Amino acid sequence: MNPSASGWLKKLLAILDESMLWNLDEALFYRQLKATGFIYGSNISLLEEQLSYLDLSEEETCKANMITGLYYFYKQEHCDLDFAESVFKFYKAIDGHKQSIFSEFLGGNSAQTSVEKIIHQRIHIDGFLITKNFNYFLINALLFTDILAFNYFLKGHNNLKSYMNKYEAALETVVFKVLNSKSIKTKYDLSLIKLFESSMRFQSHIEIKSSYIPQIVKTNLEKQYLIDAVCMASWSDTYIDKDEYAYLAQLRQTLKIETSVIEQSIDDINAFYKKHKKDIAFLNHRNLAQSFYDNSSNLVIRLIKRNSKRLLKELSQSKEAMVLLTKSTQRPLTETEQKIIQTQLLDIFKSIPSLAIFLLPGGMLLMPLFIKFIPQLLPSAFDDNRMDN
C-alpha cells in the first residue's frame, strides 16, 4: 500500500477490515492513537500493526492513522452507508467555510477517489514541496477535531459546522491562553504557536468564557483531547511549571474530570517527547538547512526504493543516462553533464507517476540528491563500473 498513489484507500480498508482495533473501548483506542503521535501532530508510528512493515513518510503515516481513526468510529456506529460514502458526505457537509477548499474533489470522482484527495488536502498546512521541506511542521496538529466531528456526524446531528466551530474556538481559547501567558517563550513555545495557528480550520478567534466551555466540551473524548492539547501547550523542555499545573487543575474542575486524567496526559506527553525527541524537528531544533537536507534525502530515497524496478527498466533504455550516473559515483559531473542527465531524468519522471513530484515547483532542487542516491540504491545497474569511496 502506497498512500501517495491513487487507490491506496481501498487497500487500506481491506487491511483494516481484519483489524482487532475495533474491539477496543473508546478510551483505549484513543490512547493507542495518541501513542503514534497523531494527537500531537507528529506521526511517528502506525496505529494498525498490520501496516508496521511499510516504509512510509510522516505524511503517509498520518493519512493511514487518520483513516484508521475515522474507520474506528464508523465501525462503532454500525453504519449501513459505505465508509467512503459516509466520509465523503461528512466533508461535503462542512465544505464552504473556507471558500470551498474541498469543492474541486466533490464531483466527478468515485467516493474513494474523492476521499483520498480530500485527506491529502486536509493534512497539508503548506502544499509547496520546498516550503514543506523547510517547514518544521508538515502535518496538521488538529486533525483529531475531524474525527470528533465525524463521530458527531455519524450520530445523526445536523449542526455540524456549528459544532466544529465552537469546539475549535474552545480549543483555541485554552491552548493560546497557556501559550500566550508565558512571559519567556522557548523555541518550543514559538514553534507550537505557529503550528496551532496554521492548523486552525475556522480561525474564529472568539475567546470562550471558562463557564461556557462545559457546554461545548461534553463527552469524555472531547474533554480528553482538550486536556492533551493543553498539556502539549504547557510542555516545554520536559517541564510544566506551577502556574500551568494550576491552570490544568482549574480546567479539571471546569470539565469535572478526575485528577488521574490530567496526570495521565502529562505522563503521556512526557514519555512521547522523551522517546521521540530525535525524530521531531521542533524538539531537537535542527537548523533549517539540515532539516531541509534530511527531509529531502528521506523523500528521495523512499521514492527511488519504491520505483526501483521501473527506474531500472527506464534507465536501461537510456545509455547516456547510465553512463553519466556511473560517472557521478567516480567524480562530480560537469555543468554540461548535469544538464544532460537532468533532461534525461525528467523524461523518465514523466513516465512514472510517483516521480512527478520532481516536476512540481521546486522539484528541480532535489535533482542533485536523486543523482547522488540512485547509484547507491540501485547497485545492480552500476556495480560493474562503480567506484566506492
Confidence (pLDDT) at 135: 44
Determine which of 29-38, 116-125, 197-206, 225-234 has the lowest per-residue pLDDT on average.
197-206
Cell 468564557, residue?
A: 209
Residue 24 has pLDDT above 60, yes or no: yes
Helix, strand, coil percentages, rounded to 5, for the chain: 70, 0, 30
Interhelix angle 160-181/144-154, nearest 10 degrees: 150
Residue 136 has pLDDT above 60, yes or no: no
Residue 126 has pLDDT above 70, yes or no: no
Overall average pLDDT of the 294-299 stretch: 67
Cβ atoms 351, 313 nearer than 8 A: no
Taking the domains of the chain in order of start, what are their residue ranges? 8-284, 288-381
Confidence (pLDDT) at 153: 94
Q: Which of 189, 164, 197 is nearest to 90 (CA)?
A: 164
Cell 532535489, residue?
A: 366
Whether pTM exceeds 0.95: no
Cβ atoms 74, 155 nearer than 8 A: no
Higher pLDDT, 137 or 26: 26
Task: Give dist(CA 90, CA 256) in Å, integer.
Answer: 30
Maximum mean pLDDT: which of 157-166, 173-182, 280-289 = 157-166
Task: Give dist(CA 191, CA 214) in Å, integer.
Answer: 29
Residue 100 has pLDDT above 80, yes or no: no
Instruction: Round the average pLDDT of the chain to a whole number and report it.
Output: 79
Q: Which residues pair with 239 in a beta bridge?
A: 236
Overall average pLDDT of the 336-359 stretch: 80
Determine which of 22-26, 113-117, 198-202 has the lowest per-residue pLDDT on average.
198-202
pLDDT tens, position by position, 354-369: 777 677 666 676 777 7
The DSSP secondary-structure symbol of 36 reads T
pLDDT tens, position by position, 88-99: 999 988 874 343
Residue 120 has pLDDT above 50, yes or no: yes
Residue 133 has pLDDT above 50, yes or no: no
Residue 12 has pLDDT above 80, yes or no: yes
Cβ atoms 71, 15 nearer than 8 A: no
Exposed e or buried b per residue across 36-73, where buried means at least 16 C-beta atoms within 10 angstroms of its C-beta: bbbbbbbbbbbbbeebeeeebbbbbbbbbbbbbbbbbb
Residue 134 confidence class, pLDDT cut points 50, 70, 90: very low
Residues 6+ apart with CB under 8 A from 330: 385, 386, 387
Higher pLDDT, 342 or 215: 215
Q: Which of 349, 327, 362, 307 is nearest to 126 (CA)?
A: 362
